[in-house]
Amino acid sequence: MSTPTNLAAQSNDPAFQDLWHELQWRGLIALSTDEDALRKALNETQITYYIGFDPTAPSLHLGNLVQLLIMRRLQLAGHKPIALIGGSTGLVGDPRPTAERTLNTRETVAEWVEKLGAQAKRFLNFEGQNPAILVNNLDWTAPLSAIDFLRDIGKYFRVGTMLSKDAVSARLNSEHGISYTEFSYQILQGYDYLELFRRYNCTLQMGGSDQWGNLTSGTDLIRKVEGASAHILATPLITNSDGKKFGKSEGNAVWLDEEFTSPYAFYQFWLNVEDADVVDRLKVFTFLSKAEIEDLAEQTAAAPYLRAAQKRLALEVTTLVHSRQAADAAIAAAAAFFGQGELSDLDAATLKSALGELPNTTAPLGSPITQLLVETGLVDSISAGRRAIKEGGVYLNNVKITDEAGEWADLLQNEFAVLRRGKKTLAGIFKAKTQ
């Protein structure tokens, strides 16, 4: 690819004078090395940049999505991305603030490397003039002996500096302490940046601001070994307006793999974003223009009950992560569940994933409706179920139940049912397998 002469004109949004200006407006810059030099590099040259993802789980999550989307923004502006999957760093684990990570087997890590690599590929273009590159850091660490690693790389790291890094110092002051394994993580990450600098002329590393200590280990190593300068850009940790970490509810991460978070649940997560947070989410997680986001902000202020911004956010992000088809299916399911669409129009896969996110039970066809109400937690007792039916507040597949002794007789796709109490309280019924 020929070097662009004016990348400033290639901001993702023509409302901004350059890419840096857009990243600032979207709230994607927390810390960086020399801002003027980095801004100049982004605007006037084509740079190669990378972000690393460690295989600590079989799927990426919302925190990783922030990084994947900023990679995509830079690629759209003409720069060249490298997605690094940490086959070696995943075997070690970066220091958590609290306790030592549980080390996974080599086989497990290798399997997760493949899965994360496949996920990362969905967000980047691996063809064209500035194609993305996918790498595994095990490729250059595995051939090194421990002696070679200590002699050739370890000699450039000072223990005092390593001890001062926030992640390390936090663990040193905890009751758990820190192992030499996790203490060495920053050396491995620094070595990654050096290798990518040498192999691909990579001059920018990005990551979350909580990784700043690990990020700087690479620039320091490049300066000491190669006598060259390189850049870092750290994104802020995404938090809600109440200060709580975004993306987790009661300890459950929101995953990008539909096996762990279904498209329906994923869509609902974004649909339920608070009014105070929705504009910030639109800036970070969508490619909508400044004008479009400002218009949605005005709609939210004028008529928050319509949830126009949340609906657009859920549509955009679900489409990005899964597909437009999956987003449309989630929208159709939500409408049908609440009587605003036809349940019979939903396919079996959509019903299964959506109902699995609701309180649910497995029961044989012909089970008493009151029993299903109790089993799904919609009522506390059989007598409460009878009262709810008598009061006209119970629906099975959007049909009002009037018989207090009624039984389950209506199936969706030959195996499901949607049970509803009142206007908003839902549960799923799965038909038991016959013996």
pLDDT at 338: 84
CATH of the domain at 420: 3.10.290.10
CATH of the domain at 136: 3.40.50.620
Q: Which residues pair with 426 in a beta bridge?
A: 420
CA dihedral 49, 195, 218, 210 (to 10 degrees): 60
> Interhelix angle for 290-302 vs 275-285, to 10°?
170
End-to-end CA distance of the chain: 63
Kindly state whether residues 183 and 82 are assigned to the same domain: yes
Kindly state whether residues 352 and 366 are assigned to the same domain: no
42 part of a folded domain = yes
CATH of the domain at 314: 1.10.240.10
Distance CA 234, CA 210 (A): 8
pLDDT at 239: 84
pLDDT at 251: 60
Kindly state whether residues 397 and 385 are assigned to the same domain: yes
200-256 per-position pLDDT tens digit: 999 999 999 988 988 999 999 999 999 999 999 999 998 887 787 776 654 668 999
Kindly state whether residues 18 and 127 are assigned to the same domain: yes
Kindly state whether residues 151 and 295 are assigned to the same domain: no
Hey, what amino acid is at 254? V
230 part of a folded domain = yes
pLDDT at 328: 95
CA dihedral 253, 70, 323, 423 (to 10 degrees): 50
Chosen domain end from 178, 208, 237? 237
- Rg over alpha carbons for the chain, rounded to the nearest Å, is 26
Hey, what amino acid is at 68? L
pLDDT at 10: 57
422 part of a folded domain = yes
2 part of a folded domain = no
Alpha-carbon distances of 379 from 2, 357, 359, 382, 392, rounded to whole Å: 66, 18, 12, 8, 14
Kindly state whether residues 243 and 229 are assigned to the same domain: no
Kindly state whether residues 152 and 259 are assigned to the same domain: no
Kindly state whether residues 213 and 243 are assigned to the same domain: no
322 part of a folded domain = yes
Kindly state whether residues 281 and 254 are assigned to the same domain: yes
Q: Where are the alpha helices (DSSP H) in 50-174?
A: 62-76, 89-92, 106-121, 138-141, 146-152, 159-164, 166-172
Kindly state whether residues 95 and 68 are assigned to the same domain: yes
Kindly state whether residues 227 and 262 are assigned to the same domain: no
Kindly state whether residues 373 and 224 are assigned to the same domain: no
423 is in which domain, residue-wise? 358-435
Question: How many structural domains is the chain composed of?
Answer: 3
Distance CA 85, CA 116 (A): 7
Alpha-carbon distances of 390 from 113, 387, 396, 397, 405, rounded to whole Å: 55, 5, 14, 18, 11
Do 431 and 356 form a contact (C-beta atoms < 8 A)? no
1 part of a folded domain = no
32 part of a folded domain = yes
Chosen domain end from 237, 262, 297? 237
State whether residue 334 is helix, strand or coil: helix
Distance CA 248, CA 62 (A): 9
Overall pTM > 0.85: yes
210 part of a folded domain = yes
Chunked into runs of 10 residues, the chain (435 residues) has average pLDDT values of 40 84 96 95 94 95 96 96 96 77 91 97 94 97 93 90 81 79 89 98 96 92 96 92 70 87 94 95 97 98 97 98 96 90 90 91 95 96 95 94 94 94 93 77
pLDDT at 339: 83
Alpha-carbon distances of 86 from 123, 138, 404, rounded to whole Å: 18, 7, 58
Which string of DSSP letters, residue by residue, matches 226-256?
HS---EEEEEPPPB-TTSPBTTEETTEE-BS
Chosen domain end from 237, 270, 290? 237
